Chains A and B, each alone.
Chain A
Amino acid sequence: MKNRRPWVMLGLLVILSLAWTAFVKPEKEREKALREAGIETVVDQAQYQPGDQETEGFASGLKQFWAFTGFRNAKTGNIIMMFIGLFFIFLAIKYEYEPLLLVPIGTGILIGNIPFFQDGGVNLQIGIYQTGSVLNYLYFGVLKGIYPPLIFLGIGAMTDFSSLISNPRLMLLGAAAQVGIFATFIGALFLGFAPPEAGAIGIIGGADGPTAIFISSRLANGVNLLSDGTTVKNLIGPIAIAAYSYMALVPVIQPPVMRLLTNKKERLIRMKPPRAVTKTEKIVFPIVGLILTLFIAPSALPLLGMLFFGNILKESGVTKRLAETARTSIIDIVTILIGLTVGASTQADVFLTKESIMIFGLGALSFIIATACGVLFAKFMNLFLSEGDKINPLIGNAGVSAVPDSARVSEVEGLKADPTNHLLMHAMTPNVSGVIGSAIAAGILLGFLG
């Protein structure tokens, strides 16, 4: 199963590239040529005027029915996207790759790409981008960034910060891994994306799906205007899909980078067991974390405010019912809605673009840089630490969030070097601090570019 992951990802990239170059690009060029030649797409107004249905009889009725079916309105892009949706559902069911996300997203892709009559801009209130449709109302939660903070509430209510409190110096690894976000931001600018779009793409390096959706919904939502008067591109779908795909691929992307940047001796470093954490410390952490981080970066308020609120519910010990609801019912409901709507937002004309392919490329680069920065910063910290106090650099990768997959990668790689050296509990510190770090980075990008 492990060896299949890179092939799956490569397959997805190849399908996207081929689909775009073979079908979508020629189709767009053909439409452009027709437009330039003054030939507009024929819109037969009679097809959707109910008055004529009664007068022209059975044949006309059938013609009108045909005009409204998916068969008549299907485009190549829709079909390609539906295959991608089916592929996601297949991966989730057959190989259990992130099934809680891929099943809603895959089904959402199917729903979002069902072709329907929209010639001449007719609004039948069906599609996700059509005002007044049910999907459009649900998509409002993505567009206005409502769902991601609710997911953070659930994450806060299920996260145990004890490892972080017991060894807080490892939090700096979580900060170092966020360099990937900013490096990707530069890369996206270099590739010609506008600054808000580049900021949204950069956040893929934070390896945090809700954060990526939150930022892209604010910066690259297809609604905001840029300084030159043009509308920003809608990149929510590609960014969310790229973020979740790479999070699933953490066990493939990270190990080669970790092995490349560490030697055998470093991989064998044993770390001190974490100390016991008192209940008071656990209660104080979310309160102090909330105040300190948000005083420094107030723009991260929606995400970090909810994260720490969820953790207060958990650690206070007197709101067990609320904490239970936040970490089960709320997060489940929001995951269903966010998965479905993000999937449905990947309509072929929005998703099958060269920008999507560039976003996938930048996302991979972002993960690699973030992993490398985490590992290298652990080595850098070791330069100042005494012999018995050193950090195993294999936990540096966990700074990229992707809880708990990247911490699990640290554990697996540590066990490969020494089967008795367990790194999981140490890796959880950079892992959860990576969540905080990526939310702060998101807030900063929002502050500058929003």
Chain B
Amino acid sequence: MMLMRLFTMGAINPDAVDSFAGIVVLVGISIVFLSLLVIYLFFRYGLTFILNFRLRHQARKKGLDPVEVETSQTSLSGEVNAAIAMALFMYQNELHDEESGVITIKRVSKTYSPWSSKLYNMQNRR
């Protein structure tokens, strides 16, 4: 209620939403769409065509199917992607750029162990 009251305290001015505001909105939205649409069209059709031109040309020379060559160069299956991601993950996890530098032997809470038993070692020295 209080927030609503505070809102209504502002000088509400429906007349401010005039034709100029409409033009700003319409032109603005159109230009945002147009800009991103142009990039989309370029990368969807233009660049793919330019980059694959050489591939297709070479494929035709060698007598191969241009479409197949194009696909093999640009498409990776999900399994391949997963394998690459796994390899990168494992590689990065195994990197040891920095060591902790702590070399103190950690004291264990269990004081006795057959591994450190003098008596045990004396009896089984052979």
Contact = CB atoms under 8 A, between A and B. Distances in A.
B10 to A, nearest CB: 5
Interface stretch (A86-94, A116-124, A185-193, A211-219): A185-193
B74 A185 contact: no
A215 to B, nearest CB: 12
A436 B40 CA distance: 13
B34 interface: yes
B12 A191 contact: yes
Nearest to B81: A273
A171 B39 CA distance: 9
B9 interface: yes
Contact of B28 (A164, A195, A445): A445
B38 interface: yes
Given A172-B40, A175-B32, A178-B29, A361 B7 contact: yes
Contact of A436 (B7, B31, B36, B81): B36
A165 B74 CA distance: 12
B16 A293 contact: no
Interface string B35-48: 11111101110010
Tell which of A168, A172, A437 has the most Cβ of chain B within 10 Å: A168
A168 B24 CA distance: 27
Interface in B51-69: 51
Interface magnitude class on chain A: 35 or more
A189 B17 contact: yes
Contacts of B36: 171-172, 174-175, 433, 436-437, 440
Interface string A438-450: 0011001100110
A295 to B, nearest CB: 9
Interface string A174-212: 111011011001100111110100110000000000000
A399 to B, nearest CB: 10
Determine chain B's interface SS by DSSP, over half rule: helix
Contacts of B16: 189-190, 192-193, 195, 198
B17 to A, nearest CB: 5
Given A195-B21, A289-B39, A278 B51 contact: yes
A293 B35 contact: yes
Contacts of A449: 24
Determine chain A's interface SS by DSSP, over half rule: helix
A357 B9 CA distance: 11
B3 interface: yes
A314 B59 CA distance: 32
A83 interface: no
A275 B28 contact: no
B74 A191 contact: no
B40 A171 contact: yes
B3 A276 contact: no
A296 to B, nearest CB: 5
Contact of A441 (B28, B47, B78): B28
Interface string A35-66: 00000000000000000000000000000000
Contacts of B34: 296
A95 to B, nearest CB: 24
A292 B38 contact: yes
A18 to B, nearest CB: 8
Contacts of A182: 24-25, 28-29
A263 interface: no
B2 interface: yes
Contacts of A181: 28
A195 B3 contact: no
B12 A192 contact: yes
A288 interface: yes
Given A175-B36, A292-B35, A168 B20 contact: no
17 contacts: A17-B2, A17-B6, A168-B40, A171-B36, A171-B39, A172-B40, A185-B25, A190-B16, A192-B11, A192-B13, A195-B21, A275-B76, A292-B38, A358-B6, A441-B28, A448-B24, A449-B24
Q: Which 8 A-B pairs have the closest CB atoms?
A: A192-B11, A189-B16, A168-B43, A182-B25, A168-B40, A175-B36, A276-B76, A192-B13
Interface of B: 2-3, 6-7, 9-14, 16-17, 20-21, 24-25, 27-29, 31-40, 42-44, 47, 51, 74-78, 81
